[in-house]
Structure 1
Amino acid sequence: MSQYSISKTRLFEGIWEGIVTAEKGVTDQPHLEPVFEEKPLDQLKLVEVGEGRWTLRIPIPAHILGDGVQTILIRDVMAQETLEVITIISGEAIAEDIRAEMDLLRAELDMLKRAFRRHCLESM
């Protein structure tokens, strides 16, 4: 089991950022590895900001961006455990998902409007 946890802070200008926190008493820098399609990504940057805390910056490579869902795993190399998952959804796949979700929301809203109107008529 890993002695570290990761909390995302933001994704800005193509760089994913987070805070790595060690369990109490652990001061060793973690050995982390971002992995995309079972291949390690380069340029991970880990900077200590306090005892047992580090900022983590991972540039998102342009070659992985495309239509659909892309997933990057951040793994603790020593514990062989995934600590965080970065999911990027883009292109046509997202447009279809949003349209389907909007259709579902419209249908549910129509159902609620009919039920509310029926309730108002019955209670008069």
Structure 2
Amino acid sequence: MSTLKLTKTRMLEGVWQGILTGTGDETPKITVTHGNSNVADFKLVRNETADHWSLTIPVPAAAIADGIQVILVTDLETDQKIGDIVIIGDDVTSIDLRAEMALLRAELEMMKRAFRRHCVETT
């Protein structure tokens, strides 16, 4: 189980910001994905006085679209989701169900990648 904990602080002008705890001085190994693409321009900065890491993720232009878009933050060491950003760009009818379905799809994609990696490593 991942010991990393991600807490949202705010989202302003297309940049999501949060605090990552649970790593101490060691730089956390994380990945940020939207769909099947990596969001490579996120920033992770150590805050020495508060003993946490500040994470900033610029929301990709592809995530600003109709429907529900999910950006996942994953711990690379455990391959577990530590957070997500859900962006809804459509009407609000049945939003809870659609958001859950989008999260399930994103987590299924993560599981498929982990399973494929496991198959490659064990053969």
Tell me if TM exceeds 0.5: yes
1:21 corresponding residue in structure 2: 21
1:68 corresponding residue in structure 2: 67
When normalised by structure 2's length, the TM-score is 0.69
Q: 1:83 is paired with a residue of what secondary structure?
A: strand
CA contact (8 A) 2:6 2:18 kept: yes
2:111 corresponding residue in structure 1: none
In the TM superposition, residue 42 of structure 1 has moved relative to its aligned partner by 1.3
CA contact (8 A) 2:73 2:84 kept: yes
Q: For structure 1, list consecutive stretches of 5 or more residues without a partner in the other structure.
A: 99-124
Moved more, 36-45 or 78-87: 36-45
CA contact (8 A) 2:63 2:70 kept: no
In the TM superposition, residue 97 of structure 1 has moved relative to its aligned partner by 4.9
Write the letter of the residue equivalent to 2:77. Answer: M
Q: 1:43 is paired with a residue of what secondary structure?
A: coil
Write the letter of the residue equivalent to 1:43. Answer: D
After superposition, the C-alpha distances for 1:79-105 in whole angstroms (9 at most, x for unaligned) are 1010001000013x33x458xxxxxxx
RMSD of aligned alpha carbons: 1.7
Q: 2:62 is paired with a residue of what secondary structure?
A: helix
1:12 corresponding residue in structure 2: 12
2:112 corresponding residue in structure 1: none
2:34 corresponding residue in structure 1: 36
Aligned residues: 94
In the TM superposition, residue 58 of structure 1 has moved relative to its aligned partner by 0.3
After superposition, the C-alpha distances for 1:54-109 in whole angstroms (9 at most, x for unaligned) are 10000001122111110111001111010001000013x33x458xxxxxxxxxxx
Q: 1:78 is paired with a residue of what secondary structure?
A: coil
Moved more, 64-73 or 10-19: 64-73
Q: Distance in 2 between matches of 1:27 and 1:79?
A: 18
1:49 corresponding residue in structure 2: 47
After superposition, the C-alpha distances for 1:38-58 in whole angstroms (9 at most, x for unaligned) are 321110100000274110000
When normalised by structure 1's length, the TM-score is 0.69
Runs of 4+ in 1 over 4 A off after TM superposition: none
Q: 1:30 to 1:52 in 2, by over 3 A?
A: farther
Q: 1:63 is paired with a residue of what secondary structure?
A: helix
